[in-house]
Amino acid sequence: MSFPTYSSYEELLSAIDAGDSGREILNPATGERIGFADTDSVEDLNAAVTRAREAFASFATTTHEQRSAMLNAAADAIEANAEPLAQLLSREQGKPLNGPNARFEVGACSSWLRATASFELEPEVIVDDGETYSTMTYRPLGVVGAIGPWNWPMMITVWQVAPALRMGNTVVVKPSEYTPLSVKALVHLIATAVPEGVLNYVSGDRELGAALSKHPDVDKLMFTGSTSTGQKIIEASAPTYKRLTLELGGNDAGIVLDDVDPAAIAEGLFWGAFINTGQTCAALKRLYVPESIYDEVVNALAEFAKNVPMGEGLDENNVLGPLQNKAQYDIVADLVQKAKDSGARVVIGGDPEEGQKGYFYPTTLVADIDPDNALVVEEQFGPALPIVRYSTVDEAIDLANSLDVGLGSSVWSADRERALSVAERLRAGTTWINNHGAVDPRIPFGGSGHSGYGVEFGIEGLKGLGQPHVITG
């Protein structure tokens, strides 16, 4: 397969017809218009599902080797266009080009595609005892609907699309209405590596997402987004028995144990909480620190945080950017205000500039905050970290486990055995030790409780995009 190469993000926008009509998309750092999004109707969605259904019959008969080759070809197309993709992503999402941001996200797209191409899913022999021989294989499911959020729009689309294609399904992608152009450009490039009709794109708001989630000819939904939307999707998809993978909101706890060197963990804690300016599902969103080293940890974190540059994404020096949209900015500002009103101590930040053109909220650390404060128990999804004091490890574990959500969590300690004994007691899909949020295409990732169900990544992730088929005899 051959793929186009674009020398600039403008050329890429023109190739995806985002240049002159549709819904205006603005750069959240500057308010400048960067392009126009399609406003697809339910009829357009129906046509996309029909194309996917028609393409399925033949695509389902391709082999794992053929589909792996297609994923590698898609990775080639992304790598050849990495800079225009990153330039577009930075302008639309707001995240800086550098740091763990736009260029990093585009790089993750190709590496996830290659990793997903490399996994080997062998038929499983379940019983072979001389009397019974039973095997289980995974067949393609059919048409997969992929509905995504605006925080890591390209990478999450790949998380949904790569395993779906690898397993022989066809796909209809419906990105967030906040970041449709980055995803359209990505889908345009991946589509060059697969047969016509296999990968489809529709653009619209929550109503279009709702139509996709109840569409009778869609077999499975890969959904990443908020917990409340996840519940609506469960309800809407129930009458047609769709399979679901739900990656929903989280409010990840991190527990620091009293044996750490505060200065040594400050950088890891910072990026665990503030990666993508806090707009990350599995970011550290509430930090529990023991009384004995509380001030040292808070001060070390503040010392690191105050030197990390925030600003417009196209400035190569910045590694933190704006909130992606006004609604998210208001949520963060409101939660920090509630914390201030309750008497919590703002260590740094908490004072956004009035009248600025972008949705910049400064890096904020809030100390001496009650464990039941709204900034602690609600998902802030932005650059404001509450730091709660605790006196016993049992108390910290109880506080960490006290919410309905459970996506990620972390334990920070110089003693691995001690950290493991705490990690085993945390209710979450993943617990990291001395790290928070490091995902890996080989390692399953998913939520517990209201953070969703099903896992992505690795062999387990592939199985979620297949229909198990047992043959016994």
Which residues are part of the catalytic machinery?
247, 281
Nearest of 315, 325, 319, 314 to residue 271 by alpha carbon? 319
Is 225 a binding residue for ligand NAD by CB under 6 A? The answer is yes
Any contact of residue 284 with ligand NAD (CB under 6 A)? no
Q: Residue 84: left if φ>0, alpha if ψ -120 to 50, beta else—which one?
A: alpha
C-alpha distances (whole Å) from 208 to each of 235, 315, 325 are 16, 35, 20
Compute the least distance from the CB of residue 375 to ligand NAD, in Å: 15
Q: Is 177 in the site for ligand NAD (CB under 6 A)?
A: yes
Measured CA to CA, the distance from residue 235 to residue 217 in angstroms comes to 16
**Residue 176 binds ligand NAD, judged by CB under 6 A:** yes
Report how far residue 220's alpha carbon sits from residue 120's, in angstroms, rounded to the nearest whole number. Answer: 22
Element (H, E) at 441: none
Q: Which of 44, 239, 48 is nearest to 143 (CA)?
A: 48
What does the CA dihedral 426, 431, 437, 438 come to, rounded to 10 degrees? 180
Pairing of strands 284-290, 384-390: parallel
Give the one residue of 250, 272, 313, 358 binding ligand NAD; rule: CB under 6 A. Answer: 250
Position among 247, 358, 366, 453 found at the interface with ligand NAD (CB under 6 A): 247
* 147 three-class SS: strand
Q: Does 148 bind ligand NAD (CB under 6 A)?
A: yes
Q: How far apart are CA 266 and CA 271, in angstroms?
A: 9
Q: How many CA atoms lie within 13 A of 371 on its CB side?
A: 15
Among 133-141, 187-195, 245-253, 312-320, the segment contacting ligand NAD (CB under 6 A): 245-253
Sheet with 133-140: list strands edge to edge.
Answer: 124-128, 133-140, 466-472
* CA–CA dist 379, 315 (Å, integer): 29
Among residues 205, 259, 296, 370, the one that binds ligand NAD under rule CB under 6 A: 205
Tell me: does residue 248 bind ligand NAD (CB under 6 A): yes
For residues 378-417, which are near ligand NAD according to CB under 6 A?
A: 379, 381, 407
Distance of closest approach, residue 113 Cβ to ligand NAD, in angstroms: 18
From the list 104, 150, 294, 361, which residue makes contact with ligand NAD (rule: CB under 6 A)? Answer: 150
Per-residue HEC secondary structure of 159-221 comes to HHHHHHHHCCCEEEEECCCCCHHHHHHHHHHHHCCCCCCCEEECCCCHHHHHHHHCCCCCCEE
Q: Which of 91, 62, 233, 197 is nearest to 153 (CA)?
A: 91
- Distance separating alpha carbons of residues 400 and 217, to the nearest angstrom: 41
> Does 27 participate in binding ligand NAD (rule CB under 6 A)?
no
224 binds ligand NAD (CB under 6 A): yes
For ligand NAD, the binding residue among 86, 233, 411, 426 (CB under 6 A) is: 233
Task: For residue 187, state whether it binds ligand NAD (rule: CB under 6 A).
Answer: no
* Residue of 281, 300, 377, 411 interacting with ligand NAD (CB under 6 A): 281
Give the x-and-dash track for 415-454 against ligand NAD (CB under 6 A).
Answer: --------------------------------x----x--
Tell me how far apart the alpha carbons of residues 388 and 32 are, in angstroms, rounded to a whole number. 39
Closest residue to ligand NAD, based on beta-carbon distance: 209
Complex with ligand NAD: residue 396 or 407, whichever CB lies closer: 407
Residue 232 engages ligand NAD in binding (rule: CB under 6 A): yes
Count of residues in contact with ligand NAD, rule CB under 6 A: 31
Restricting to residues 322-381, name those near ligand NAD by CB under 6 A.
Answer: 379, 381
Amino acid in the structure at residue 322: P
Q: Please tell me whether residue 48 binds ligand NAD under the rule CB under 6 A.
A: no
Q: How far is the CB of 453 from ligand NAD (least distance, A)?
A: 11
In the complex, the residues that contact ligand NAD under the rule CB under 6 A are: 147-151, 156, 174-177, 205-206, 209-210, 213, 224-226, 229, 232-233, 247-250, 281, 379, 381, 407, 447, 452
